[in-house]
Amino acid sequence: MDVYEAIKNRRSIRKYLQAPVEWDKIGQILEAGKAAPSCGNLQDWRFIVILDQKKREQIAESCMQQHWMARAPVHIIVVGEPEKSKRFYGIRGERLYTIQDCAAAVQNMLLMAHALGLGSCWIGAFDEDALRNLVSMPNEIRPQAIVTIGYADEQPPEPPEYTLENIMYFREYGGQGNRVKDIPKYSGDYAERIQRTAGKGKDIFSRMMNKLQLKK
């Protein structure tokens, strides 16, 4: 499966088959998480793997009673170490980089799970203190997300998405004047222009080479 396919076809899965997940697949998902970029390569994340049924039920309860979660055979809690990035990057590290680092790790995990034929879901709605107590997390560690993993028992449709025209600007933020209508057409023209320019460059280059060889 190529990256684009994995990105495009991954869906949040909230119904799981009651089949265990092979340990080597869990390992590959964790490896994918730890391969994410992080600020100054601090890797200010930790991953807590939960397989125990009772614990998964308690976690689901702490996630605003999202009881469906307990049926996912694997939970991975991604926690951040903001104190670590604060030491290097001050308030920006503490309040922003750790969150971004963990988010990058979570997205890698979701994509890897999908590429391995598994379903997953990113869970961000939880009672931080309740979750903290469940897994004996010290105060300086902040839970960022829970990833549920298992074999999917549903095929959700692609959710609605904004078009590129709606979310991108050229030159500066906002303003209708900076919006591009019909991006595929624009990028088609642009690609053609690049090809033509590259072609011209090649002609000029070979003519120059010929001249140089004649001079020799």
Ligand X SMILES: Cc1cc2nc3c(=O)[nH]c(=O)nc-3n(C[C@H](O)[C@H](O)[C@H](O)COP(=O)(O)O)c2cc1C
Q: Where are the alpha helices (DSSP H) in the chain?
A: 3-9, 23-34, 53-62, 82-92, 98-115, 128-134, 164-167, 183-215
12 is a site residue for ligand X (CB under 6 A): yes
Quick note: the x/- pattern for ligand X over 69-108, rule CB under 6 A, is ----------------------------------------
* Candidates 9-17, 36-44, 75-83, 173-181; binding stretch for ligand X (CB under 6 A): 9-17
What is the longest distance spanned by two Cα atoms in the chain?
83
Residues 6+ apart with CB under 8 A from 78: 33, 45, 46, 47, 102, 105, 106, 109, 143, 144, 145, 146, 147
Binder of ligand X out of 17, 57, 122, 135 (CB under 6 A) = 122
Q: Do the beta carbons of residue 47 and residue 102 sit within 8 Å? A: no
> Smaller CB distance to ligand X: residue 1 or 191?
1
* Candidates 74-82, 120-128, 163-171, 179-187; binding stretch for ligand X (CB under 6 A): 120-128
Quick note: the x/- pattern for ligand X over 147-166, rule CB under 6 A, is ---------x--x-------
> Smaller CB distance to ligand X: residue 14 or 56?
14
Q: Are strands 119-123 and 45-50 parallel, antiparallel or unpaired?
A: unpaired
Q: Do the beta carbons of residue 148 and residue 121 sit within 8 Å? A: yes
121 is a site residue for ligand X (CB under 6 A): yes
123 is a site residue for ligand X (CB under 6 A): yes
* Triad 176, 177, 182: Cα angle to 5°: 80
Residue nearest to ligand X (CB): 124
Binding site for ligand X (CB under 6 A): 11-12, 14, 66, 121-125, 156, 159
